[in-house]
Structure 1
Amino acid sequence: AASTFIDDLSTWYIRRNRRRFWRSRDAADQDKLAAYQTLYDVLVTLVKLLAPCLPFLTERMYQNLVRSWDETAPESVHLCDYPDVDPSLLDPRLNAEMAAAQRVVRLGHKLRDAANLRVRQPLPELRFVATDSAERDAVVRLADLVREELNVKRITPCESLDDLVHYVYKPNLKTLGPKYGKLLGAIREELAKGDAARLATLRQGESVELAIAGQTVVLLPEDVLIETRQAQDWLCASDRDLQVALSTAISPELKREGMARDFVRHVQQLRKEKNLEIEDHILVYWHTDSDEVRAALGEWDGYIRTETLAERLDCQPAPTDQAKRVTVGDAKAAVWIQRA
């Protein structure tokens, strides 16, 4: 449970709020302060919860988080009261809505990974079908969040994905043979012509009953092999009562945007390697022989400067000794930075 929570905290809450954390220092910025205070409260509570299991690590974290500035606090995390549950802090509706959005995001990432499509490459559309109306409405309300997480231009709720994907159901001879023997041929025919909506329960991990040759045949999910056949330039996946389809058609405009995002990542890595502060402004220099990279960096100049706090981007005739060789999209480039 702790591992799952920490994963949610780091890969969801902190990453989703990174722009709040990164904003320039401003004593009047209450939103940034709220983000830090929430994270601080969560970390301190988590340290107290895990103290019996991880005594040394939690003690070190407690000393850094609490005792480093509050001398009135208990001297050790092991001297603190164990946290109590506060039901008033729970928001079941918000939790359910965010869980629905996370399900869509997880399926979208699964499709990207299967197709080896990096998240920095924008894609045109994701379509989804949710049989639960509350879950569908939640994803619609949080569409901007889902769109940003998956880096797609459009989120479209649908009643069906039949025009993009269909499923072929075949008997699993290894499990059905010992159970139904002579009925295998009839089962194969029934699966081939069966009602798609009825057989869909198999994809949701549930069994289905069929009337075959005067007998009731119960098919478990492991009794049926399911093949997914999808339209060109689309990837499809499902998780019980949720289906998603991701368009993989990459236009030249989307490709250039993906290259700009690649470039931003390389610059951010250089900032990290130089131990720059979040608010430090920089000058960015680059060189490439690729016309495609030049076009992408020219088109997305403003976006790159905003994301990296760069005063300007300068194309140079040749790289210096300090330049870092990087891959931008499918092309090669060199980039180096200095504090402004």
Structure 2
Amino acid sequence: MFENIEFANPEFFWLLLLLPLALLWYFFKRKNEMASLRISSIKGFTVKSWVSKLKPVLFGIRLLALAAIITALARPQTEDISTRTKTTKGIDIVMAIDVSSSMLARDLKPNRLTALKEVAADFIEGRPNDRIGLVGYAGESYTKTPITSDKAIVLNALEEITYGVLEDGTAIGMGLATSVNRLKESKAISKVIILLTDGVNNSGFIEPRTAADLAVEFGIKTYTIGLGTNGNALSPIGYNRDGSYRYGMRQVEIDEELLKEIAEVTGGKYFRATDNESLEAIYNEINKLEKTEIEEFKYYKYEEKFRPLIFLAGILLLLEWGLRNSIFKSFI
């Protein structure tokens, strides 16, 4: 009955303390309410009535009515809350992913590219209010997915990213320039590129610094990530006769100075990921740094429930008045 009931003025319940005091008063004073007649014997009176014994019921009815009134004063009500959210600051993000052969190195488990795709998928799922696009680059670059709010499309495209689609190499400038091209027409308040590589710029016809200047011109912030352990990593060094990769230890070479410069010039930040855990932590930090502002509106609808209590109190008082002036009239 009282499920989901709240009280707007619960302080009125303190008045319920008057009820036990009224009971005590009635207990000690009720004998004085009726006139008494002293006689030497009651043998001549043979009429016995049970009605007089029920007289305390009148006081009980009055107390119930008073309790109902007090509860009504506390204003019982139900609350219906509806919410509506409005994104006040949308972010457009392009993730530029290195897909060169070195991304198959096994210093991250099971390899760098697979580890990246798993972490990037979690990042994408955690940005429901933003538009995200994908750019892949190796010896050249291409747009895998334009910026879109359809996360299913982005996640499917991310899963399809693999080595071998492009000529091998690491064209950081090309990857960054293609990402800028995807964002330059964006009307979003905030535009972000997350560029990840595990090597040095050795391909492409656009210099990374030139691409960084383009990002600055269009107001695009760039976060750069250098991926790979410190020292040597088990990496593809050739092919076996059956076409599978032959692995060997290779020195990890990342142009950290270049990545730091790109991030600094564009207002972003450089990160270094040496294992699966640090890569995940980096994307979590970027997720916190680039927060979408969401405004939430709550609408409250209250339905007052005091009227039935007032109605009940009125019925009880009428009942008490009727009994007092009919059945119990001779005893009052």
> What TM-score comes out, normalization by structure 1 length?
0.16
Q: Which has the higher strand share?
A: 2
Structure number with greater Rg is 2
* Normalised TM-score (structure 2): 0.17
Which of 1 and 2 has higher RCO (CA within 8 Å, sep 6+)?
Answer: 2
